[in-house]
Each structure stands twice: as structure tokens, then as C-alpha cells.
Amino acid sequence: MRWTICGIAVLSALAVQSVHASAVEQSIRPESRPDTRTAAKMVSLASEKAPDQGLGESGSEAGFQNWVAAFRSRAVSQGIQSDVLNRAFDGVRYDGAVIQRDRNQSEFTKTIWDYLDSAASETRIANGKSALRDNRKILEQIEAKFGVDKEIVVAVWGLESAYGHFRGENDIIRSLATLAYDGRRGAFFEEQLIAALKILQSGDTDPRQMTGSWAGAMGHTQFIPTSYLSYAVDFTGDGKRDIWSEDPSDALASTAAYLARFGWVKGQPWGVEVKLPRGFDYALANRELLKSPSAWARLGVVSMAGTAVPDYGQASILLPAGGQGAAFMIFKNFSVIERYNTADAYVIGVGHLSDRIKGGPAIQSDWPRGDRALTYDERKEMQQRLTGKGFDTKGIDGKIGPKTIDAVRSFQRSVGMDPDGYASLALLEKLR
């Protein structure tokens, strides 16, 4: 649900927050995210500004209160009651720290192997097994109702809030109002603010109990307000969709409901690590190219045990680190997890963590651990240089998506490199 269901800032494929390991590891998600396939295509929304906004970094408490006064009339026109507005904004002030967080999101990225080292660390796996054991009864009920494997629900919980230990303590109304007033992505944040007020108006929670991340993601599995309105469920039957409380039941059920809505196939893996044959045609590693596991086996793509992957359905081949790292045969459920967060690293992280919670093995292939991730400026430079050499990336945005990967492959072919699409520092140096 994106933004996703959950966090906020335009994603690059491997952009991730820094993670601090401890007895209870923090949440780990690609750095704040809005991709939205559900909440309304944030790439376009993010560039718009709502009316009467835009004081930006020069924002002040007086300017904020003026904005709130103007916003009230817009909220009322969308059905928000005056008493709800009064309660929601009681004592709410401009939060400059939120703007600092929004302005200073790290441009640095982690490699996928560094990300996975945190996402599926021994601590997170052990805590996930404990969370599954402690909540098995409710998780089995959720699995039976929604048809979503309980281990995937637990893995999302683990990456989003470290199994409920890091749900966020920011006042959601204050954060969203500050970000909407700021104007940089005003239309998006005002939409979320209206949705948050509708949640309050429904009686699901109270204003000061509505807490979450600085960017508006809420509860155990970090729903944004618009996604909450569309997909949150009252699984406990107490009349409230309470994703904030110590009891995670409604939050976990809401996550399952969300994944089910987008077509989760129970029992189907998100993906399977595979071996590629010598001389594999890297052009076949394309999300749009689907084959049955048996067809892939005829091309030499087999499980790590050397046998054909079971027939779980149509699949494509994913090489997140090009030909130098692990290869995965990915199925429909990969794209379902993607609805939560579009970064490949996040999807693999959730999927692999769920496999490890089930008792599955670690990823067996080596990674090019001598490489480092490209910075945002280096990714833009790569796109500029590729386009300048006639390999059009269809935009210079610092995000390594399918068009940039296609351009990388075309350049690699032109200079006799393996066309695996891996946007590495070595490739950038070759372009230079």
C-alpha cells in the first residue's frame, strides 16, 4: 500500500534505513517510502502542493497555525466534524524535527547483502520464532480466515516494527499536519491527514493514542492512514480496528487482509534460490518473462539441490546482484509482498525471514561483498553517462529500475561484459 501500506519517501531499489542490532533489533525498512499502487501514485502526488501551503524550511509556529486554520475548512468540506478537528488539533504545534527528518533522509544505500544480514539476522530469526510461538493461536486463526501464511505475516511484523517493539511514538496528527504544511509533498500528506481524521471520527482510537513514525506510518505493521481505511480489520470483535495496542491481533489480521486482497497464494513460496547453468543468457532474467519451473529446468535453472523446482506456478528469474550474487526463481507472491514495499531488498528480506522462521536454510550463494552500494549522486551519474552514450535510461532520478537495468545491459553488451544488468561501481568506472 504505498506510499506502501506503510512508510514514506520515494524508494530506490536498495535504499534502507540504518539498523542497530540489539537483543531486540529495530524495524528495518527501505528508507521512508511512498510508492503507491493503492493510495494513489505518489510519484505524481509528491510533486504537487495543496492549496495555501509551502513555507518549507522557513516554516514557523505562526505560519503553521495559519495553515491549520485554512486546512480546517478543507477538512470540513470532506466530511470531518468540527469536534473531531478540535480534539485532533488540541495542543498540536509545528514539529521542526519532522521536517529535519524529511529533509535529511540518507542518500546512502546498503547493498542487498548488508540489508539481508540485518533483515534475516540470527536475532531477528530467533525473535520471529518466539513471536510465532507466542501468538500461534491467533496467527493460525488469521491464516485460516485470510489464507495468508502465518510466517509471512510474522516476517512483515518483524521488519516493520521488530515484532511490535518499535511502533513509533510520534503524534500522527502533528507529524502529518507539519509535513502537509511544509508543502514539499503537501498533497500526499494532506490526503493522509484527512484519512487520519476519518479514523478518529470512526472512533477506532483517540488523537493522542494515534502514534507512529515521523512520516505517518502506524502500529505494529506500519499502515499509513489511507491504507488503514481501506484494509484494516477488527479481528478481535471489540468494535475497533486497533493496530496500536499491545495486542497485535488487529494489526496482524489487517496485514493478512491486505496481502489477501492483492492475491496471496497460500503455500506458494515468494521465491526459491536457484543455480544458473554455465553460459546462462542473462537476458532471460526479466520480470516480464515467465516460465514454469519445469521449463526453467530444461534451460538448466535448478534448485540448490540440483533438481527441478516444484511446480508452484509461473516464475521469473531475479538477479539482485547480477551474475555475481544469488539468483532467485520468483513467483506471484513476490509481487504481492511488493504491494507492501516495492524495493526488491525488502521483498527478499520479508520472504527470506519467513523461510528462516519456518526453519529453512540461509541463502547459500556468495555475494560480491567487496562491492559497495552506489550513492544517490553516483546512481544519477550512471544514468547520465548511460543516456549520453546512447543507452537511454528514460530519466535521471537516481533510482535503478527496469529501464536503467535495460540500459545497463545494453551498455554491457556493447563493451563485451556479461549483460547481467548489475549497476555496480565497476560499471560506473567503465562508463567514466
Residues designated as active site: 160
Q: What are the distances in angstroms from CA 265 to CA 259, 354, 369? A: 9, 15, 34
Q: How does 72-96 read in b/e, with b if 16+ C-beta sit within 10 Å?
A: eeebeeeebeeebbebbbeebebbe
257 and 65 Cβ atoms separated by less than 8 Å: no
3-state secondary structure of 297: helix
431 and 386 Cβ atoms separated by less than 8 Å: yes
Q: How far is C-alpha 10 from the chain's CA centre?
A: 10
203 and 94 Cβ atoms separated by less than 8 Å: no
Measured between its terminal Cα atoms, the distance across the chain in Å is 38
**Grid cell 520515494 — which residue?**
10
Q: Are strands 327-330 and 316-318 parallel, antiparallel or unpaired?
A: antiparallel
297 and 315 Cβ atoms separated by less than 8 Å: no
Helices 122-134 and 344-357, interaxial angle, to 10°? 60
Nearest CA among 247, 251, 209 for reference residue 228: 251
Residues 6+ apart with CB under 8 A from 143: 149, 150, 153, 256, 266
Distance CA 99, CA 337 (A): 29
**How many other C-beta atoms are found inside a 10 Å radius of the C-beta of residue 351?**
25
